[in-house]
A = this chain, B = another copy of it.
């Protein structure tokens, strides 16, 4: 794994494994930082866009805060308009089926968020909640039913699945026309290849690029670094940046000098799942930083009992970058918005509606 020296990061100075001790040690700074972001993301002062506010207003940081919440709202409104137009024109409402296996709290929470988002734009959502000890065959059987159901345009299996279920086998069972998560290897291949287009782009990386677009960031010709190479975020993010003519370097757990390579990037997307790994010294001055990392750490002082952290040490990075996404309210809400966007695309395609 990545090695990260998080001990002196001003925001949260501790690795996940020692959070209790670390939190006690710098508890006040920790809470201050948390409040700061929440304030920013709701300030709404227009700079380059109504959704970009200037962190310098509240601290010495100079980076513009890319407010994912606000951009996601904008996108949901656009989708709601399209869903209405579709309903009025051809009497069809897009449908998304979500399959949840087991009782993982985080997974259940993600599913609730997605269902709520569907409702907000007029997409009909269907949920199957299977018991923790459900068999692979049962999961696939439900996918099969949704594959055959014309009122379902998108199928999503909430990850992670219980360990005894073969994730690949389950995901492969989703017919490609309804694979709104875009995880099918055929989709990834089409995303990677020149002159080909995937049916769907995976939601989180699509959300990252959408943020860059909506902030007016030029990608073409820029140097970009992606930290992490997961099938779900890092890999497709790198492929997308390359498709948009960035010169891309992929940093991962075997990279010997991640800091040096990251510091070369005009655009940085992180998806390592290593809280606060990316320090201020890793950031090229005036770079744009999109933090897709999201790790929950235990936090007894927080009403929810935990706090999400990104891969980037926000306080340090925001003094060096030109724009940065916070965690939470950065990439997270965009992921959900892109799921709705993919479901709408699937429905339009299924009904040949433009």
A interface residues with partner B (beta carbon < 8 Å)? 168, 184-196, 220-221, 223, 229-231, 235, 239, 242, 245, 247-252, 254-256, 261
- Would B239 and A247 count as touching, CB distance under 8 A? no
Known: A186-B186, A186-B189, A254-B220. A194 touches B231 (CB 8 A): yes
A186 surroundings in chain B (CB, below 8 A): 185-186, 189
Q: Is the interface of A mostly helix, strand, loop or mixed?
A: mixed
User: Contacting A250 at CB < 8 Å: which of B184, B231, B248?
Assistant: B248
A195 surroundings in chain B (CB, below 8 A): 168, 231
A245 surroundings in chain B (CB, below 8 A): 252, 254
- A165 smallest CB distance to B (angstroms): 15
A247 surroundings in chain B (CB, below 8 A): 249-252, 254-256, 261
- Would A192 and B249 count as touching, CB distance under 8 A? no
- Would A193 and B254 count as touching, CB distance under 8 A? no
Q: Which residue of B lies closest to A261 (CB)?
A: B247
Q: Which residue of B lies closest to A245 (CB)?
A: B254
**Can you name 7 A-B residue pairings with CB atoms under 8 Å?**
A185-B189, A188-B192, A188-B193, A193-B235, A194-B231, A221-B254, A247-B255
User: Contacting A193 at CB < 8 Å: which of B185, B193, B196, B220?
Assistant: B185
Known: A247-B252, A247-B254. A196 touches B168 (CB 8 A): yes
Q: Which residue of B lies closest to A190 (CB)?
A: B185
Most buried by B among A185, A189, A248, A250: A189
Q: Which residue of B lies closest to A235 (CB)?
A: B192
A188 surroundings in chain B (CB, below 8 A): 188-189, 192-193
- Would B221 and A255 count as touching, CB distance under 8 A? yes
- Would A235 and B194 count as touching, CB distance under 8 A? yes
